[in-house]
Amino acid sequence: MRRVLGVLGGVVLLMLLWEGYKAVGDPEGTKLFGTRVLPRADDQSMPHLLDVVRRLSRPELTGGRPVWHVVFDACLFTLGVTAVGFAAGTLIGFILAALMQRFRVVERGLLPYVVLSQTVPLVALAPLIAGWSGALSFGPYPWEPWMTVAVIAAYLAFFPVAVGLLRGLQSPTASGVELMRSYAAGWWRTFLKLRLPAALPYLFPALRLAGAAAVVGAVVGEISTGTRGGIGRLVIEYSREATSDPAKVYTAMAGAALLGLVVAAFVGLLELPLMRHRRRVEVNVI
Amino acid sequence: MTAVSIAGVSKVFNAGRADEVTALSDVDLTVDNGQFVSLIGPSGCGKSTLLRLIADLTEPTAGTVTVAGKPAAKARHDQEYGIAFQQAGLFEWRTVRRNVELPLELRKVSRAERRTRAEEMLALVGLSDFGGHYPAQLSGGMQQRVAIARALAVHPPLLLMDEPFGALDEMTRERLQAELLQICAKTGTSTVFVTHSISEAVFLSDKVVVMSARPGRITATIDIALPTRDEAARQSPEYFALVTDVRKALRA
């Protein structure tokens, strides 16, 4: 409950900052030695929040569907892509972390490349993935453009999971591992009973990062591959109308932000049932 | 049949390298059934290594280790021993009861039986009311008692303990010593106990094995025959005489 209030408070604070700056800021922006240090505060650059909200209910184009409906559908589309990318990325990260924990050689050989993978600029990578995957198909099902976007989301999402989970799997103390050995438990049972539960406190922050990365991957992936139907694409489309209809692009951006919050909340929910002991610790009896 | 029999055991770490260390050199040791044996000596004398050899957590460079009449590796697979370390090492995500159930789970004991056995063990260490608690809610002494309950859960004929009370305060330590003796007497478990406290070794043991470092070897074996093991025993002249004997052996 306190967390929900915290989030709401943060949103209200942001809104106050926005409108507050708009009220006191120079409409032409503040310049220092010819360089703009504060943004323009005119209606064109920073529309009133109320205008943005009003814009949601008006049609996208004359006679079209209302903007909120379009934004909502686009968010839903991107949410689906994000979910697929997040799931695939988490699975891949999980497998990589388990392999790296099991085989020292794999860790030494693979970990540098896992890190390296994230330094490749996404914008350069996206057309490449689109190019490769265009030639793929699952039997009778052809490769869809959204799958390319999901691949990009997964590409960003697997990294925190692989690195975070690996650290978690390696976190049990030597005596814990020896205890399992004294029970004649093999690698698999040690993994299930000791390493995996011990890794959970490391896994959840990693999943949160992965969720955020998957959203970014999906949005940027849509933009750089030109996939239609998602919120990323919508931001680009609406920003073309920014001069004539400044409130419109902010509706799409608000949608993208909301999408991020939904994914973050979902990952937060995953955590609840599995971290019971953490919460109970606070009830110290002795 | 003897609980543990060690013959001509040596252990060399990093053999053939510049940092080669002879942790143990030509060690012979026998622990009879039901006997309580302490290993005592300065740091680096190989007492923990010796315990780990019995537990088959490390392998000897030379010699043989027999536990319950079997090679150490076989004995480990058959869970012929329970082990407790200086750190209780409880799994913080499991309740106390489920911690005690862990070795039974790995032995594929049925759920109902696990439950009964865990309750029985918790009663033995006096923690019946704390089965549903998480380890972080317990004090250090209570955690160590859970670790002992866990070590005893499979009813092993042998209990191995590596400075289990080392991290506890003196009062808790003495109380747990008395409890440990009662438990061992009740269950008939043989025990190998590593410690660097002379008084602890003398109070608990039937036999104190004194070791020295570089290379780790057994320098003396002192039989302890105290008539009773209670508070009175801690004050008795025999007790002090034996403490002096062990201290002299350690200095020699």
Q: Which tokens is A11 given?
A: 């949103």
Q: Which amino acid is at B138?
A: L
- Eight-class DSSP state of B128: G
CA torsion angle for A65, A68, A71, A74 (degrees, to 10)?
-70
Residues B247 and B174 occupy one common structural domain: yes
The Cα–Cα gap between B29 and B207 comes to 11
Strand partners, B161: B84, B193
Residues B172 and B243 occupy one common structural domain: yes
Give A99 or A58, the one with higher predicted confidence.
A99
The Cα–Cα gap between A285 and A163 comes to 36
Is B144 within 8 Å of B169 (Cβ atoms)?
Answer: no
Query: What tens digit of pLDDT does each residue of B158-170 get?
Result: 999 998 888 788 8
Classify B130 as helix, strand or coil: helix
Q: Which residue, of B105, B120, B155, is where some domain finishes? A: B155
A185 and B85 in contact by Cβ < 8 A? Answer: no
Residues B216 and B241 occupy one common structural domain: yes
Residues B177 and B242 occupy one common structural domain: yes
CA–CA min distance B251, chain A (Å): 31
Domains in chain B: how many in total?
2
Instruction: With a cut of 60, say whether residue A283 has pLDDT above it.
Output: no
Query: Would residue B161 count as lying in a domain?
Result: no
Query: Would residue B40 count as lying in a domain?
Result: yes
What is the overall mean pLDDT for chain A? 86
Helical axes A246-274 vs A49-57, angle rounded to 10°: 90
Please give the residue range of the domain that contains residue B59. 1-64+166-252
Is B150 within 8 Å of B83 (Cβ atoms)?
Answer: no
The Cα–Cα gap between A23 and A36 comes to 18
Query: Would residue B72 count as lying in a domain?
Result: no
Residues B237 and B191 occupy one common structural domain: yes
Is B83 within 8 Å of B67 (Cβ atoms)?
Answer: no
Residue among A182, A191, A276 with most chain B CBs within 10 A, to mutate: A182
Chain A residues touching residue B92 (CB < 8 angstroms)? 277
The residues, any chain, with a CB within 8 Å of residue A39's CB and separated by 6 or more, are A25, A29, A45, A46
A182 and B83 in contact by Cβ < 8 A? Answer: yes
Domain chopping of chain A, boundaries: 68-270
What CATH number corresponds to the domain at position B227? Answer: 3.40.50.300
CA–CA min distance B243, chain A (Å): 31
Which candidate from A180, A277, A285 shows the least CB-CB separation from B92?
A277
- Eight-class DSSP state of A31: E
User: What average pLDDT does range A9-30 have in this prediction?
Assistant: 86
Q: Which residue of A has its CA nearest to B143?
A: A286
**Which range among A69-73, A83-87, A95-99 shows the weakest confidence by mean pLDDT?**
A69-73
Range with the largest mean pLDDT of A20-34, A164-178, A223-237: A164-178
A183 and B93 in contact by Cβ < 8 A? Answer: no
Helices of type H across B67-157: 72-77, 96-106, 111-124, 140-152
The Cα–Cα gap between B93 and B87 comes to 16
The Cα–Cα gap between A124 and A128 comes to 7
Q: Which residue, of B125, B155, B185, is where some domain finishes? A: B155
The Cα–Cα gap between B238 and B235 comes to 9
Query: Would residue B75 count as lying in a domain?
Result: no
User: What average pLDDT does range A23-51 have in this prediction?
Assistant: 82
Query: Would residue B218 count as lying in a domain?
Result: yes
Task: Categorize the per-residue pLDDT at A280 as very low, low, confident or very high, splitting at 50, 70 and 90.
Answer: very low
B85 and A178 in contact by Cβ < 8 A? Answer: yes
Residue with tokens 């995996």: A196
User: What average pLDDT does range A8-34 have in this prediction?
Assistant: 85
Q: Which amino acid is at B84?
A: A
Is A154 within 8 Å of A85 (Cβ atoms)?
Answer: yes
Classify B190 as helix, strand or coil: strand
Chain B residues touching residue A182 (CB < 8 angstroms)? 55, 57, 76, 81-83
The Cα–Cα gap between B174 and B143 comes to 15
- % of chain A with per-residue pLDDT over 90: 31
B137 and A194 in contact by Cβ < 8 A? Answer: no
Q: Which residue of B has its CA nearest to A199?
A: B93
Residues B180 and B143 occupy one common structural domain: no
Per 3-state DSSP, chain A is made up of helix, strand and coil in percentages (nearest 5) of 75, 5, 20
The Cα–Cα gap between A133 and A145 comes to 9
The Cα–Cα gap between B55 and B150 comes to 16
Q: What is the pLDDT of residue B161?
A: 92
Classify B38 as helix, strand or coil: strand
The Cα–Cα gap between A46 and A253 comes to 13
Q: Which amino acid is at A91?
A: L
CA–CA min distance A281, chain B (Å): 6
Q: What is the pLDDT of residue B130?
A: 92
Residue among B91, B107, B172 with most chain A CBs within 10 A, to mutate: B91
Q: Which amino acid is at A176?
A: G
**Which range among A92-96, A183-187, B42-46 shows the weakest confidence by mean pLDDT?**
B42-46
Chain B residues touching residue A179 (CB < 8 angstroms)? 83, 85, 89
A175 and B85 in contact by Cβ < 8 A? Answer: yes
Query: What tens digit of pLDDT does each residue of A120-160 get?
Result: 887 788 888 878 777 777 777 777 888 888 999 999 999 99
Report the complex ipTM.
0.85
The Cα–Cα gap between A40 and A88 comes to 42
Fold of A68-270: MetI-like fold (1.10.3720)
Q: Which residue of A has its CA nearest to B93?
A: A277
Residues B173 and B59 occupy one common structural domain: yes
Chain A residues touching residue B79 (CB < 8 angstroms)? 183-184
Query: Would residue B160 count as lying in a domain?
Result: no
CA–CA min distance A285, chain B (Å): 7
CA–CA min distance B215, chain A (Å): 25
Residues B149 and B228 occupy one common structural domain: no
Q: What is the pLDDT along chain B (252 residues), one digit of tens a residue?
A: 788 888 888 888 888 888 888 888 888 999 998 899 999 988 888 888 899 999 999 888 888 899 988 888 888 988 889 999 888 889 989 999 999 999 999 988 899 999 999 998 898 888 889 989 999 889 888 898 899 889 988 888 899 999 888 878 888 888 888 888 888 888 889 999 999 899 999 999 999 999 988 888 898 898 988 888 888 888 888 889 999 999 999 887
Residues B240 and B174 occupy one common structural domain: yes
The Cα–Cα gap between A274 and A201 comes to 10
The Cα–Cα gap between B142 and B145 comes to 5
Chain A residues touching residue B99 (CB < 8 angstroms)? none
Residues B35 and B147 occupy one common structural domain: no
Chain B residues touching residue A280 (CB < 8 angstroms)? 134, 137
Residues B47 and B124 occupy one common structural domain: no
Residues B52 and B172 occupy one common structural domain: yes
Q: Which residue, of B135, B155, B175, is where some domain finishes? A: B155
The Cα–Cα gap between B155 and B81 comes to 8
CA–CA min distance B1, chain A (Å): 22
The residues, any chain, with a CB within 8 Å of residue B75's CB and separated by 6 or more, are B56, B66, B67, B68, B81
| B19 CB neighbour count, 10 Å cutoff | 6
Chain A residues touching residue B103 (CB < 8 angstroms)? 183
pTM of the complete model? 0.81
